[in-house]
Structures are given as C-alpha cells and as structure tokens.
Amino acid sequence: MNRQERFERILASLHEAMFDDSHWVETSALIDEACGAKGNHLVFQTTSRDDDIAPLFMRFCYRGEHRSEWEREYLANDYPADEHLPRLRQLPVDRIVHVTELLSEAQLKHSATYNEIMPRYHFQDGLNVRLDGPRGSRIVWGIADPSDGKGWSTDQVDMVARLLPHVRQFVRMRHALVEARGLQTTLERLLDNTRAGVIQLDRQKRVVAANDRAGELLCQGTLLSDRAGLLHLAVPIDNSHLQRLLDRALPRFGGQGESGSMVVRRSYNHPSIALHVTPVEERDCGFRSLRAAALVLAVDLKEQGRIDRHVLRTKLGLSAAESEVAALVAEGKSIREVQAAIGRSVHTVRWHIKQAYAKLGVSRQAELTIVVRAVGGILPLAEEALG
C-alpha cells in the first residue's frame, strides 16, 4: 500500500469514527502505521482554562489498543506535574514540535516529566501539536515514539502534517454530532433529529433528503436555499466557500472525499450557523436515503455547549437547582460565574455542588463534570475512566 492509499484509508476511517466512537481505535492504528509511531493521544477541551482538566474527548491509543488506564493515571497523577504543558499551550497552532523542545535543559536532565512520566507513555521521542479550534477550544494531538527507534524521518513528519487538518475536522464534526445527539445512528434516523438541520446529498451534490429543521431553512431562503436541488448560500462569498466544501466532500472524478466546516454569520438578532460537510458511505444508508453520499449538518452556534438540564433531573435524580449548578460547572463556568448566573450566594452554589456530589458518588469537580457531560449531551471520557 503506497502513501496516498494509506492517507485515503485514514480519511475514510476518520469519517466512520465521527459517527461511532468504536472506530477511533482502528483509525488511530491506521495513523500509527502511516506515521511509523508506537501510538498517539488526542485530547479535546472546549475551554482554554488551564485549571479545567476534564476533557470532552481523551483517547490514549497505542498499537490498536485503547489504553483507558493510562488516561486515568495521567489525569489523576501526572497532569499536575507535567512540566511540558506550559510551553505546549503557547505553541502556534499547527506547529509540530519534538517534545524535547517543550522542556528546558535542566528539565531534560532532572525532571520527573521527561525521565519518568514520558517513558511510561512511550513519549520521550514524541511529537506534539496544537490544533485549537474556534471559541477558545483546545485540541492537542501527541504522536508517540517512532516504532523503529531511529528517530523521525522527513516523510514521517510530512505525513503527520498532512493529517493535521483532518484530525481537527474529526474533532469539530464529532463534537457537533454529539451536541445534536447524532452519534451511533443511521443516516435514515438522523433525519428525525430536532437539534440540528440535516441535509443529505447525492454524488451530484443534489439534495435527496432533509429533516424538518433544515427544511425550514431551505423554505425561508434568506440564508440557505436549494436552487434546482443544489445548495446555495445567499451571500456570494459564503456560497463560494460552501461550494468548495462540497467539491472536496464529493470530488468530481471519484476518490476519497474530505470533510470541512464553515460559519455563516447572520444579523445581530439571529445566531450564526455552523455548516459541517462530510462524505458518507452509501452502503451505510437506509433504504429511503440510498443515494446519499454526503451529509450537511447545520447547527445554531448559540445552542452548542449547552447541557440538557431536564436530562440531568430525570437521569441523575438532581433537583432543578442542582441540575442548573452542575450543568454550569460542566460547561466550564467558575464558582463566581455560576453564582452570578443564578443570582444566589457562593455558599449556596457550593452547597448545591456538594449535594450533587453526594447523589452522584463523586468528590471532585472534574469527576462531576465527566458524569454530567456523559448524560447531558457532551462527549465524556470513556465510561471506564470513572472507575
């Protein structure tokens, strides 16, 4: 298999993993093979706050195996002492660096980070890169030591660089699907979604199906419309961007399509809309949407990042006040910000948090955040990471 075939195989696997988390381990193994690495880890947070250590997505995968015990160990024991993080957070986005560039000479000689922590995760010769997304979200991708022990070749680093935008897009699209409750479902059932506009296109970029929410947008025609069955945006510069995304997702002469996203800004009293475009495998389609070759997801940005309070009350048994406080904490708010949002004292906020701790069997805000995000519509760590 040549480099291009490996690359296209990774893209196809990334698209499957967007909809079903179980595919990420396979995707990670393909990345390891193409890059000649022992493993990789991917971490996603929606906040850039350094004291928020509860990621929305965290996967340590090595040689086709998900190492959830390493995730637990790192968060519980190694994160507070990890001396390479401050410099990593200051890196320019998309700049690939060797881990030794993030530590001083003294740290390389004496620190526990380099001499004890990193060897456990096969990362003394690893690469790091920030892929941060919009609105302060933080994406960090680490590629573990070269599998041959000979250091990084130019070809290996070039493959890592080539994959960067696609790994970022995987996180972006997956997060949008999580918030729209669109994971692990068929394309047919996705048309019943009420949290996002869903449009399916055939290989000629014609609309073959749309859910009710997308249908409203298309009927209004002030932002998004279908002219003779083809999607168009009202503003020419936005429409040009959309057509480029569609061309990449559905290449004219076949081959593996690529995912992409854009933001469409509206008037001050209407939220902006994110459009996420991704190819889909026709074999996975339901009967009615048999010809679907691409999916367009339209999401109001004001709705992203909000946890469903009703679900917290019904599934976790929290009171209305406890649900509100727990949700605000899980959305990244500080205690003072929660206090200002609900109009009660800091003492009351802390009391509601303690009540939630008792009901959920947790003892820290990071643990509370993981549980709340798991049931409230935001992607958590693997369930076994709670053990």
Residue 101 pLDDT greater than 70, yes or no = yes
Q: How many CB atoms lie within 10 A of CB 164?
A: 17
pLDDT (0 to 100) of residue 267: 61
Quick: pLDDT tens for 13-60. 999 898 887 889 999 999 999 999 999 999 887 655 555 455 667 899
pLDDT (0 to 100) of residue 195: 83
Q: What angle do CA 91, 95, 96 make, to 5 degrees?
A: 110
Which residues face 60 on adjacent strands?
41
Residue 35 and residue 37: Cα distance in Å, rounded? 6
Quick: pLDDT tens for 179-197. 777 776 777 788 888 888 9
CB 18 within 8 A of CB 177: yes
Residue 27 and residue 117: Cα distance in Å, rounded? 25
Measured CA to CA in angstroms, residue 305 lies from 92, 327, 345, 349, 376 at distances of: 25, 10, 25, 21, 10
pLDDT (0 to 100) of residue 385: 27
pLDDT (0 to 100) of residue 340: 80
Q: What angle do CA 365, 371, 377 make, to 5 degrees?
A: 120
**Unique residue bearing structure tokens 């999607």:** 231
Residue 71 and residue 325: Cα distance in Å, rounded? 27
Residue 226 and residue 75: Cα distance in Å, rounded? 48
Is the pLDDT higher at 133 or at 200?
Answer: 200
Looking at residues 353-363, what average pLDDT do you find? 92
Burial of 228: CB neighbours in 10 Å, binned 0-12, 13-18, 19+: exposed
Residues making up the chain, counted from first to last: 387
pLDDT (0 to 100) of residue 172: 85
What's the pLDDT band for 115 if we cut at 50, 70, 90? Answer: very high
Burial of 242: CB neighbours in 10 Å, binned 0-12, 13-18, 19+: buried
Radius of gyration of the chain (CA): 22
Looking at residues 209-229, what average pLDDT do you find? 90
pLDDT (0 to 100) of residue 257: 93
pLDDT (0 to 100) of residue 285: 44
Quick: pLDDT tens for 280-292. 875 444 434 457 8
Residue 261 and residue 169: Cα distance in Å, rounded? 8
| % of the chain exceeding 90 in pLDDT | 48
Residue 305 and residue 328: Cα distance in Å, rounded? 10
Quick: pLDDT tens for 220-230. 888 899 988 99
Amino acid at 312: L
Token pair in block for residue 349: 């906020």
Q: What is the 3-state secondary structure (H, E, C) of the chain?
A: CCHHHHHHHHHHHHHHHHHCHHHHHHHHHHHHHHHCECEEEEEEECCCCCCCCCCCEEEEEECCEECHHHHHHHHHHHHHHCCCHHHHHCCCCCCCEEHHHHCCHHHHHHCHHHHHHHHHCCCCCCEEEECCCCCCCEEEEEECCECCCCCCCHHHHHHHHHHHHHHHHHHHHHHHHHHCCCCCCCHHHHCCCCCCEEEEECCCCEEEEECHHHHHHHHHCCCEEEECCEEEECCHHHHHHHHHHHHHHCCCCCCCCCCEEEEECCCCCCCCEEEEEEECCHHHCCCCCCCCCEEEEEEEHHHCCCCCHHHHHHHHCCCHHHHHHHHHHHCCCCHHHHHHHHCCCHHHHHHHHHHHHHHHCCCCHHHHHHHHHHHHCCCCCCHHHHC
